[in-house]
Amino acid sequence: MAPVERDGRVLRATIARGRHGTLDGEALPEVEEALRGIDPADTGAVLLVSDGESFCTGGDVRAFAGAADRGAYVRGLAEAFHGLLSAMVDAPVPVVAAVPGWAAGAGMSVVCAADLAVGGHGTRLRPAYPGIGFSPDGGMSWTLPRTVGAGRAREILLTDRVLDAAEAHALGVLAVVVDDADVRAEAEAVAHRLAQGPTAALGRIKRLLAASPGATLAAQLAAEAESIAASAAGPEGAEGLAAFAEKRPPRFH
């Protein structure tokens, strides 16, 4: 199975392989390239999946241990992984993650970086890095505190605590929780709904949210004014306003 496939306006990327969802290091550059090459004219959402029972339980720890120069080996993997994470955040369309089973280590980092993550009642998340004597990668030390707050992030990371689905949902790490058997189908449905939405506006929302933590209120208000004006002047704004006036659902695509 190719790591990147297209399903209508949804780009589906498989980032982990095997029953336990080991991060597929060889696929990361191809997935990154696909995300950086997204054209919103034909792609409205990205769906991240695995082909195993769990979403992703991190990298191949045995390969870490067996490397002649562990530091150099892990650094190379981290840099490739960070290319993917940066491409997710920079993508001009929403990124959805289908998260069955475990999301640990790198898997939890991906969940924290996704725009929306769909889990099951049996989904579990764990930083996992302290368990092998590592500090985190994949942006977890940046994304987690921005989602759950600095104090809660410290507690989760330092104690390597497992989050069950209910707590992850309450904290905002998981956007949706469904029956375990329905995770993939629900994530597919979410991605397809987003892909049929106002793609340019959703991209602007992503950019505004990404900029807000480091922006002053005045700067954010200026960015919002510029963004909403561009939306109003574009074809999506025209269709949305026409649909409202005509009391019908908008047809953005």
Could you state, in chain order, the average pLDDT of each consecutive group of 10 residues for the chain (253 residues)?
Answer: 91 92 90 96 97 91 85 90 96 98 96 98 97 94 96 97 98 98 98 97 96 95 97 96 96 94
- What is the tens place of the pLDDT at every residue in 43-76? 999 999 999 899 999 888 888 888 888 899 889 8
Predicted pLDDT at 25? 85
Predicted pLDDT at 190? 98
Predicted pLDDT at 38? 97
Domains and CATH numbers, the chain: 4-195 (3.90.226.10), 199-245 (1.10.12)
Predicted pLDDT at 19? 83
pTM above 0.75, yes or no: yes
Predicted pLDDT at 1? 67
Predicted pLDDT at 161? 96
Predicted pLDDT at 64? 84
Q: Would you list the DSSP string of the chain? A: --SEEEETTEEEEEEEETTTTEE-TTTHHHHHHHHHT--TTT--EEEEEESSSSSB--S-HHHHHH-SSHHHHHHHHHHHHHHHHHHHHH-SS-EEEEE-SEEETHHHHHHHHSSEEEEETT-EEE--TGGGT----TTHHHHHHHHH-HHHHHHHHHHTPPEEHHHHHHHTS-SEEE-GGGHHHHHHHHHHHHHTS-HHHHHHHHHHHHHGGGS-HHHHHHHHHHHHHHHHHSHHHHHHHHHHHTTS-----
Predicted pLDDT at 63? 82
